[in-house]
A = this chain, B = another copy of it.
Amino acid sequence: MEFSAESIAALIKGKVEGDPQAAVYTFAKIEEGHPGALSFLANPKYTHFIYETKSTIVLVSNDFVAERPITATLIRVQDPYEAIAHLLEIVKQATTQLPTGVEQPSFVAEGVDLPQGVYVGAFAYIGRGAKLGKDVKIYPQAYVGEGVEIGEGTIINPGVKIYHGCKIGKRCIIHSGAVIGADGFGFAPDADGTYSKIPQMGIVEIGDDVEIGANTTIDRAMMGATRLANGVKLDNLIQIAHNVQVGRNTAMAAQAGIAGSAKIGDNCMIGGQVGVSGHITIGNRAQIGAQAGIPNSVKEGVRLLGTPAVPALDFAKQCALMKRLPDLFNRVESLEKQKK
């Protein structure tokens, strides 16, 4: 099915620049453009591709100023990234039909209620006392332990494991291989060098509209709850230790790790492979760059880099000076020689 520039512009409140009847049937990245495809330009790094892309239509910002002729028809919008997201969502809604009903064989414990719109895939396991909201989708091979609660519209992808007693909010998406509620890593050292396990009696509580990436692990609390607030977005392979609290709308990139009882504020951005120490506090809106290590509490709104982390500008300066370090040693040696 094809859509004209004109009709697309209407959907995203854009202005057509070029042929209003230019038609597309699919999406493509601007650097992989081809006739019949719609692309977008949001990241300035990719600007040079707009002059050579073979895509039929490109979404650009109102601010974009062409420096050379462009073959594609443009649609100007305020925020091309938001506009493409909106278009993709429309297409997704139109083309995707989520499954409902119960595939066999699956295991649903006696007494568990399956409200309207619920899907239970083959080989999924739903333990005693679990409570599922309307339209919850439990894909094949997922495990929902005893007493787990899952809010309306949440999607549990194939193979997700949720240990007993954990609570998941509404409209969440949990990707394959994520493990929610395994035991926190708590041991008391004994005199003979062995360890005694500290039973982990708490749970994990996840708010609404949370997305959790593939193979991410979120441990249950020792007591109380490990908590992810509404709107948190976690990428893949992230570790959230026991009793951690993550504030609203905080996003973490892949392979970040948050140690036990740390409190992360609202609207923080935590980069990939970042490590945060236990029992510390990260203020709201903090931005922690990739691979940084955070040993101590940090304030609201900071931007940090490095291990141990320092303000991002200081880090850049340190890196620049590191490159000049050999020269500095030479200069000091030269000063010393002049002394003699």
Chain A residues within 8 Å of B, Cβ to Cβ: 27-29, 32, 43, 45-46, 79, 81-82, 84-85, 88-89, 91-92, 103, 105, 107, 121-123, 125, 139-141, 143, 145, 157-159, 161, 163, 173, 175-177, 179, 182-183, 185-188, 193-199, 201, 209, 211, 213-215, 217, 219, 221-224, 231, 233, 235-237, 239, 241, 243, 248-249, 251, 253-255, 257, 259, 261, 266-267, 272-273, 275, 277, 279, 290-291, 293, 295, 306-308, 310, 314, 317-319, 321-326, 328-329, 331-332, 335-336, 338-339
Min CB–CB distance A206 → chain B (angstroms): 16
Copies of this chain in its oligomeric complex: 3
Closest 7 interchain pairs by CB? A179-B214, A161-B176, A88-B199, A182-B214, A239-B254, A27-B223, A143-B158
Contacting pair A84 B198 (CB below 8 A): yes
Q: What residues of B have a CB within 8 angstroms of the CB of A29 in the complex?
A: 221-224, 243, 261
Is the Cβ of A141 less than 8 Å from the Cβ of B122? no
Shortest beta-carbon distance from A70 to chain B in Å: 20
A62 to B82, CA, bound (A): 59
Q: How far is the CA of A197 from the CA of B248 in the complex (A)?
A: 15
A82–B217 touching, CB < 8 Å: no
Docked-complex contact A322 and B329, CB < 8 angstroms? no
Q: Are A233 and B88 in touch, CB under 8 angstroms? A: no
Q: Out of B201, B291, B308, name the residue touching A27 (CB < 8 Å).
A: B201
Find the B residue at minimum CB distance from A86: B196
Expressed in whole angstroms, the Cα–Cα distance for A225 and B236 within the complex equals 18
Q: Are the CB atoms of A233 and B187 closer together than 8 Å? A: yes
Q: Are B214 and A88 in contact (CB under 8 A)?
A: no
Interface majority SS (helix, strand, loop, mixed), chain A? loop
Please determine whether B197 and A211 come into contact, CB atoms closer than 8 angstroms. yes
Which residue of chain B has the shortest Cβ distance to A146 in the bound complex? B99
Q: Is the CB of A328 within 8 A of B332?
A: yes
Q: Chain B residues near A186: list those with CB within 8 A.
A: 85
B81/A107 in contact, CB under 8 A: no
Contact check, B199 vs A92: say whether CB atoms are below 8 A apart. yes
CB-defined contacts of A335 to chain B, threshold 8 Å: 332, 335-336, 339
- 6 residue pairs of the A-B complex, CB under 8 angstroms, read A27-B201, A45-B279, A140-B143, A175-B179, A235-B241, A317-B326
B195 touches A233 (CB 8 A): yes
A82 touches B188 (CB 8 A): yes
